[in-house]
Structure 1
Amino acid sequence: MKQECVAEHIAIGTEILLGQILNAHAQTVSLEFANHGLFIYHHQAVGDNLSRIVDVLNHAAGRSNVIVLTGGIGPTEDDLTRDAVAAHLGVALELDEKSLQDIESYFRKRGRSMPAENRRQAMRIQGATMLPNPYGTAPGQYVEHGGVHYFLLPGPPLEMKPMLQREVLPRLKRIFPTPQVLVSRTLHFCGIGESHVDEQIHDLLSSENPTVAPLAGEGEMLLRITARGGTHQDAVQSIARVEQEIRKRFAPYIYGVDGETLQAVAFRLLAEQQATLSVAESCTGGQISTMLTGVPGVSQVFAGGVVAYDNAVKRQALGVHPETLERYGAVSEQTAREMAEGVRERLGTVYGLSTTGIAGPGGGSDDKPVGLVYMAVAGPRGTEVFRSVFSGSREQIRLRAAKHTLWRLIRTLTRGAGADA
């Protein structure tokens, strides 16, 4: 029976624990492993302290047979990863002459002499293999001890990732040959909460291959489908069967897959239908326009937006009737309707969007609570107005309203294209 790879990543650096830098290596290592059918089961971070690093290694070696350490192999005295691994294994450090020559050559090619402290980077853990680092002075190291495979990699991302891809993963594929590949596909939902989705997919969550996992997002939620297969196509086919079932249950709420965003999908649908768009925003304060203008090429379909925060701007720039504002208020179905129709007419676009609401934290009432937002979509087939009450902070309410409005536009465009509503 072939042994399974049970891998762990340990990030070394006090700066990580202080929050001064993001532990992005955790994501990078996990993604690269998963792309090769291997898995990271644990992540840890520890500061530049010899005894604590040794403690972490002792714990990791008791549950994992692959340990990838990133950081702490530089030239300074607080670069302790080499020392800690040697102490953990109970072996000595010894000078690796070839690595020393490579480091000296690195500096010589740049017209500089090697500082004495860089000699530390040529210290090899007894029994280890040095891993070349073509983009920096710190060579990595690989050592196997007691059935555990240790990889020491540098901290700078532009040095670490190439070494991970060239030195670590090929070795692990030889050590742990696997006939399976791993493929994931993520479905993006809007207009429905995670708990509502979860209660309708209990039968799918129990599957071991493919697996289905709900993921929370801000103003939306995601379902990740992951499958293993003998080939990439086998895994894709397994995912397709589950995806088809999910789409049967949630078709109106699924707007995209994988890296697609609401604004990118809206742009694509508008472009396909040769339709244009304008936006009138009150409570979202230009957030929808900002999201749209972040999409390359959106100028093909997006004419512009009006941030109509004050009632005078709603009247003068959008043509909202004074009687509407006086009788129903700025936060109302009627005002949202006239805002969307007004921006559509004045900017001469096929579709117009609008938002008006109470983002808080103050300004709410029993009739119009904080989080109340009216959103409207005006188009060739008329105007639809939607009412929602969003929870969260001011920024959360604004972002959720912006996303929900774009989702409503996508629903309108999808129906216009003849898709099942």
Structure 2
Amino acid sequence: MKAEIIAVGTELLLGQIVNTNAQAISQKLAELGIDVYFQTVVGDNAGRLRQAIEIGRGRADLLLFTGGLGPTQDDLTKDVLAQYLGRKLIIHEPSMAVIEEMFSARGMAMVESNRRQAHMIEGSEPLHNSTGLAVGNALEADGTLYVLLPGPPREMKPMLEGPAQDWLRSMLGEEVPLFSRLLKFAGIGESNLEAKLMDLIEGQDDPTIAPYAKEGEVSIRVSTKARTSEEADGKIDATVEGIKERIGEHLYAQEDIPIEEEIVRLLRSSRRRLASAESCSGGLFAELITNVPGSSGEFAGGVVTYTNVMKNKLLGIPMSQLEGKDAPGAISESTAAMMAENVRLLSDADFGVSLTGVAGPAESEGKPVGLVYFAVAERGKDTIVYTAKLSGGRSIIRLRAVKAALYRLWLALKA
């Protein structure tokens, strides 16, 4: 079955809100074995919405709408589709009763336009809205399925997961569901990853391999259609093994989690703790770690020693190391090592991680923008210092530096 998602709302076209509904709907339809071939965004305009319906009906078996079910005159989805299908709009009495009761309980007079939220297309099945007032609709007409969901995600998602999904399952018959596994990588760029997997990507059939990238991380989605999860796992596992043979040293998870979450898990399972000392990253390393719920048991704490005075006073790094004609300077391998070692000792943690460098906008200590040193100090082992030469603006350099440090820490935890 081929599907098209039609998001209705001028605010989407103006960029005032992000269409997060499309992601949730696409994922749900994939689980049901329904292929999403097109996504359309159309404004609150009857003529253009009707045109979108006509185009969609010619190329998809299912049109799934979000938005345009509210009480105002620009909420047109039900009106336009009903007119297009030559059907009447009727009142769904249970939904109408809920609306009237709400206004009565608040001691407010109900505006007549609120009745629009209880409209349903003649011959359709109502989809209960557990978190709002606008009733959803589902119907089949001339071989095409139509599902109408509200626009606000807090209303759309429960309706999608509940009555809309149930209705779609009843209409599917023998559709084979799609199963996917997300592989998460660190310490490797998208182009390098793709080059190492090019033979697999070019020769893919089933399962399929699709790479995705965002700053500091790369993901691969491995997907296949199967009648059972066991059958799907068998096919996906074989593909994953082929990927691991090439770039297994960069694969940190087979689920959609950031590397910092996997690091906290590894620290927790091994009963070890971490501390950080940051300069150019400005506390971003500590922020990412503490964004992981429950990380307080694994993260002893961190310091942001942005100036040489703070490096000296908080971490005990001699000023002769930081300043002077022959001093290595704050931006150096030896200073990065001292920062990691001293914060580990200060906190009695098992690992100390440090970052020092030049995030920009201008060079510092005669060293170029993008040069970053970071170190991993581990109890009972030699401290290792790494050098990165990063590109991008200030915020991008900071993020890339922290992700690089997290990757090296992950390798140390895995060793």
- Supply the AA of the counterpart residue of 1:333: E
Pair 261,102 (structure 1): closer, same or farther in 2 beyond 3 Å: closer
With the length of structure 2 as denominator, give the TM-score of the two structures: 0.92
1:16 maps onto 2:12 in alignment: yes
Deviation at 1:259, TM superposition (A): 2.6
State which of 55, 59, 83 in structure 1 corresponds to 2:51: 55
For structure 1, list consecutive stretches of 5 or more residues without a partner in the other structure. Answer: 416-421
Pair 317,77 (structure 1): closer, same or farther in 2 beyond 3 Å: same
Query: Where do residues 136-147 of structure 1 align in structure 2 (5 Å cutoff)?
Result: 136-147=132-143
Distance 1:172 1:382 in 2: 59
* Match in the other structure for 1:321: 318
| Kept in 2: contact 1:227–1:236 (CA 8 A) | no
Distance 1:14 1:276 in 2: 50
* Match in the other structure for 2:222: 225
* Match in the other structure for 1:344: 344
Deviation at 1:127, TM superposition (A): 4.2
Pair 256,92 (structure 1): closer, same or farther in 2 beyond 3 Å: closer
| Kept in 1: contact 2:90–2:122 (CA 8 A) | no
- Supply the AA of the counterpart residue of 1:253: H
* Match in the other structure for 1:418: none
Pair 406,135 (structure 1): closer, same or farther in 2 beyond 3 Å: closer
Deviates more, 1:246-255 or 1:125-134: 125-134
Deviation at 1:240, TM superposition (A): 0.9
Q: Deviations over 1:149-170 (max 9, x none)?
A: 1122222333322332333333
Pair 338,85 (structure 1): closer, same or farther in 2 beyond 3 Å: same
Query: Where do residues 114-125 of structure 1 align in structure 2 (5 Å cutoff)?
Result: 114-125=110-121
Distance 2:101 2:171 in 1: 37
- Supply the AA of the counterpart residue of 2:393: S
Pair 284,87 (structure 1): closer, same or farther in 2 beyond 3 Å: same
Distance 1:105 1:268 in 2: 46
Deviates more, 1:399-408 or 1:270-279: 270-279
Query: Where do residues 20-419 of structure 1 align in structure 2 (5 Å cutoff)?
Result: 20-89=16-85, 91-96=86-91, 99-100=92-93, 102-108=95-101, 110-111=104-105, 114-178=110-174, 180-205=176-201, 206-325=203-322, 326=324, 327-363=327-363, 368-379=367-378, 380-415=380-415
Q: Deviations over 1:289-332 (max 9, x none)?
A: 11111222322222111111101111221122333223222111
| Kept in 2: contact 1:128–1:143 (CA 8 A) | yes
| Kept in 1: contact 2:69–2:75 (CA 8 A) | yes
Pair 345,21 (structure 1): closer, same or farther in 2 beyond 3 Å: same
| Kept in 1: contact 2:93–2:118 (CA 8 A) | yes
Distance 1:104 1:212 in 2: 50
- Supply the AA of the counterpart residue of 1:108: E
Distance 1:122 1:265 in 2: 47
Percent identity of equivalent pairs: 41
Pair 231,92 (structure 1): closer, same or farther in 2 beyond 3 Å: closer
Deviates more, 1:394-403 or 1:165-174: 165-174
Deviation at 1:44, TM superposition (A): 1.3
| Kept in 2: contact 1:37–1:178 (CA 8 A) | no
Pair 181,94 (structure 1): closer, same or farther in 2 beyond 3 Å: closer
Deviation at 1:53, TM superposition (A): 0.9
Distance 1:136 1:345 in 2: 55
| Kept in 1: contact 2:120–2:135 (CA 8 A) | no
For structure 2, list consecutive stretches of 5 or more residues without a partner in the other structure. Answer: none
- Supply the AA of the counterpart residue of 1:188: K
| Kept in 1: contact 2:266–2:413 (CA 8 A) | yes
Pair 198,364 (structure 1): closer, same or farther in 2 beyond 3 Å: farther
Pair 138,345 (structure 1): closer, same or farther in 2 beyond 3 Å: closer
Pair 321,69 (structure 1): closer, same or farther in 2 beyond 3 Å: same
| Kept in 1: contact 2:29–2:35 (CA 8 A) | yes
Distance 2:290 2:403 in 1: 14
Q: Secondary structure at the match of 2:257?
A: coil
Pair 41,234 (structure 1): closer, same or farther in 2 beyond 3 Å: same
Q: Secondary structure at the match of 1:353?
A: strand
- Supply the AA of the counterpart residue of 1:157: P
| Kept in 2: contact 1:103–1:114 (CA 8 A) | no
Deviation at 1:385, TM superposition (A): 0.3
Distance 2:226 2:130 in 1: 35
- Supply the AA of the counterpart residue of 1:82: K
Q: Secondary structure at the match of 1:382?
A: coil
Deviation at 1:364, TM superposition (A): 5.7
Distance 2:52 2:175 in 1: 32
Q: Deviations over 1:309-357 (max 9, x none)?
A: 1011112211223332232221111111111112122222222110001
Q: Deviations over 1:8-29 (max 9, x none)?
A: 1111112222222221211121
- Supply the AA of the counterpart residue of 1:401: A
Q: Secondary structure at the match of 1:141?
A: strand
Distance 1:143 1:296 in 2: 42
Deviates more, 1:233-242 or 1:125-134: 125-134
With the length of structure 1 as denominator, give the TM-score of the two structures: 0.90
Number of corresponding residues: 407
Distance 1:329 1:134 in 2: 61
Distance 2:136 2:122 in 1: 14
Pair 375,69 (structure 1): closer, same or farther in 2 beyond 3 Å: same
- Supply the AA of the counterpart residue of 2:386: F
